[in-house]
Amino acid sequence: MENKKDDFSEWYNEIIDLAKLSDKRYAIKGMNIWLPYGLKIIHLIDDLTRKYSDEKNFNEVSFPVLISREQLEVEFEHVKGFENEIYWVTRGGRDKLDIDLALRPTSESAMYTMFPLWIRSHSDLPFKIYQIVNVYRYETKHTRSFIRVREIHFYEAHTAHINYEDAENQMREHLKIWEELSNDLCIDYSLNTRPDWDKFPGAVYSVAFDTPMPGYRSLQVGTVHEYGKNFAKNYDIKYLDENGNLNYVNQTTFGLSERLLAAVIGIHGDDRGLILPYKIAPVQVIIVPIPGENYDKIVNYSSDIINKLSEMNIRCDIDKRDFTPGYKFNDWEMKGVPLRFEIGNKELSDKSITLALRTQKKKIKIKYENLNDVYNYLNAVNNDIRNSSKKFFDDNLIFIDSLDKINEDKMVKLYWCGSRECSDRIESISEKAVLGNVYGDNSSGKCMICGREGKLSVFSRTY
C-alpha cells in the first residue's frame, strides 16, 4: 500500500479501492458507484444529519430531479453562477422538448417556485425543510472520488423567515448542527466568510467550512448562505404580517455532501487503512475467532458476545471466513473498524476477551462480565482520532505575519485588506486562493501586501 505521507493522492485512491467504498470504473467519468460498505457509511452520516435537523424542527422533503429552464432563469445571478455546470435534458423520446429541462445542480429554483403556494402568512414562518438527494454538475476539472464528482450526494436545507434577524439566527442554528455533526466525525474546521466574488450565486454572503487535508490543500466540506430577500423578490415569496401587509421572506440555506466522507478518509486514515469514528462505523466491533483447539466452543462463545453487544445496540459482526487471523486483522483494519475482539482458546477458558483498538498498538484483556465497558473503548478510539485530528489541524493552519512564509505547505491565516488585487497577488506568489475572512473574528491588522487595514483571513491551495 502507498505511504500516506509520500503520495497522498495515490494513497487516497488506493484506500477507496481496498476498503471497497466506491468504484469509479463506471462508463461516465465522475459518476461513481457507491459500493455496499461506502454506502453504509454515507447512510450513517445521513442519519446523523437527519437527527440533528429533525431535532431543530426541520421537515424532510423530496423534490423532482428536473427543473425547467423557466424556473431556473427566474433568478439571474443564480443561473449565471451555474450556467457552465448544468446538464440539460432536451428530448423526450424522439421529440424535442418544448422547454429544456435541467438536472438540478442545487434546488433553489425548484423549491422557490413552490414556496409562494405554501407560505402565505406569518404563522407559516419560520419555514424549514431539507432533502438528501443527488445533484448534478458538469465538472470540467479533474474528478476525484467523493471530492469532485458529477453526481453529488447532497444535503440541502432551505429556510424562510419573517425578517433578516430571524434569518441570521437561523444561520447560527445551521452552524450549531454543523458543530454537532463535525464533532461526531472528529473533523476540525475553519469558518470563512467567502469574498463577494466567490459567494454562492444570489446570496448576500456565504460562510464555508474549510478543513486542511493531507496533500497541502484545504477541502470545503460545507457551506451556509444568507439570502436576505434576494430570492424572495425574484420568486415572489411573500407572507401576510399581523397588520395585514405583504412582505418578502428572508431566506437561508445549508449544504453538505460526501466531501464529509472524503475528509474522514483523508484526515483520519493511516497506512493500514481507514479509521472510522464509531458513530459512522458500519461495524463497530468485529470478532475474530482464532482457529485451534475447541474451535466450535470458541465460535459459540463469540456468538454469545455478539448477542450481548447487540442488546447494547452495538453494530457488531463475527468473521468466520476461511482466512488466517492475520489476514482478517489486516482486512478489518483496512475497513477502519474501531474495535477488534480476538477470541481463542485462552479467552474461552478464562471467560475473557482480547481487545485491539484501531488507533493503538497494544492489546487489552477484559473480563466477559465487563463487556459493558465496550462503549468506553469506542470512546477511547474516538478520543485518539480527535487528538490526532486536532494536532493535524493545528499543524496545518498557521498564522503568518510576513510574506516570506507564504509558501509554507499549509493553510495560512494572515491580515488582508479585502481587495481583489491583494488576494490575486498572494495567489500569484503562492497558488493559495483566498478562502475569506475568519468568521466571527473582530481583530484587525495591516494587509500583508498593501499595508492598509485588514481582517484576519485564510488562504490555501484547494481541492
Provide, rounded to whole angstroms, the least separation between the CB of residue 376 and Zn ion: 51
> Please, which residue, 325 or 418, has the CB nearer to Zn ion?
418
CA neighbor of 160 nearest in space, from 248, 50, 256: 248
Q: Which stretch binds Zn ion (CB under 5 A): 13-21, 48-56, 334-342, 447-455?
A: 447-455
> Please, which residue, 308 or 446, has the CB nearer to Zn ion?
446
C-alpha Rg value of the chain to the nearest Å: 25
Provide, rounded to whole angstroms, the least separation between the CB of residue 399 and Zn ion: 17
44/447 Cα distance (integer angstroms): 44
414: contact with Zn ion by CB under 5 A: no
Q: Which stretch binds Zn ion (CB under 5 A): 192-200, 301-309, 362-370, 415-423?
A: 415-423
398: contact with Zn ion by CB under 5 A: no
Provide, rounded to whole angstroms, the least separation between the CB of residue 448 and Zn ion: 7
Provide, rounded to whole angstroms, the least separation between the CB of residue 403 and Zn ion: 12
422: contact with Zn ion by CB under 5 A: yes
Judged by CB under 5 A, how many residues of this single chain contact Zn ion? 5
Task: Give CA angle at 318 (368, 46), nearest 5°.
Answer: 105
Q: Which stretches does DSSP call E strand in 196-319?
A: 205-213, 217-228, 238-240, 246-248, 250-257, 285-289, 316-318
Q: Which stretch binds Zn ion (CB under 5 A): 34-42, 94-102, 304-312, 446-454?
A: 446-454
Q: Binding to Zn ion (CB under 5 A): which residues in 216-245?
A: none
Provide, rounded to whole angstroms, the least separation between the CB of residue 449 and Zn ion: 5
CA neighbor of 202 nearest in space, from 298, 83, 61, 56: 83
Query: DSSP class of residue 292?
Result: S
Q: Which stretch binds Zn ion (CB under 5 A): 13-21, 402-410, 427-435, 450-458?
A: 450-458
450: contact with Zn ion by CB under 5 A: yes
Paired with 251 in beta bridges are: 160, 228
Q: Which stretch binds Zn ion (CB under 5 A): 174-182, 186-194, 359-367, 421-429?
A: 421-429
211 touches 221 (CB < 8 A): yes
112/237 Cα distance (integer angstroms): 8
Name which position in 221, 280, 417, 433 contacts Zn ion (CB under 5 A): 417
Alpha carbon distances (Å) from 281 to 219, 274, 275, 380? 22, 10, 9, 15
> Please, which residue, 7 or 421, has the CB nearer to Zn ion?
421
270 touches 14 (CB < 8 A): no
Provide, rounded to whole angstroms, the least separation between the CB of residue 452 and Zn ion: 5
Q: CB under 8 Å to 73, separation ≥6 — which residues?
A: 79
Provide, rounded to whole angstroms, the least separation between the CB of residue 417 and Zn ion: 3
Name which position in 160, 186, 288, 449 contacts Zn ion (CB under 5 A): 449
Name which position in 355, 414, 447, 458 contacts Zn ion (CB under 5 A): 447
> Please, which residue, 119 or 417, has the CB nearer to Zn ion?
417
> Please, which residue, 162 or 403, has the CB nearer to Zn ion?
403
302/126 Cα distance (integer angstroms): 52
**Dihedral over alpha carbons 26, 47, 435, 190 (to 10 degrees):** -140
Q: Which stretch binds Zn ion (CB under 5 A): 352-360, 407-415, 424-432, 440-448?
A: 440-448
261 touches 219 (CB < 8 A): no
> Please, which residue, 21 or 449, has the CB nearer to Zn ion?
449
Instruction: Please give the full DSSP string across 294-343, using - where no structure is assigned.
Output: THHHHHHHHHHHHHHHHHTT--EEE---SS-HHHHHHHHHHTT-SEEEEE
**Site for Zn ion, rule CB under 5 A:** 417, 422, 447, 449-450
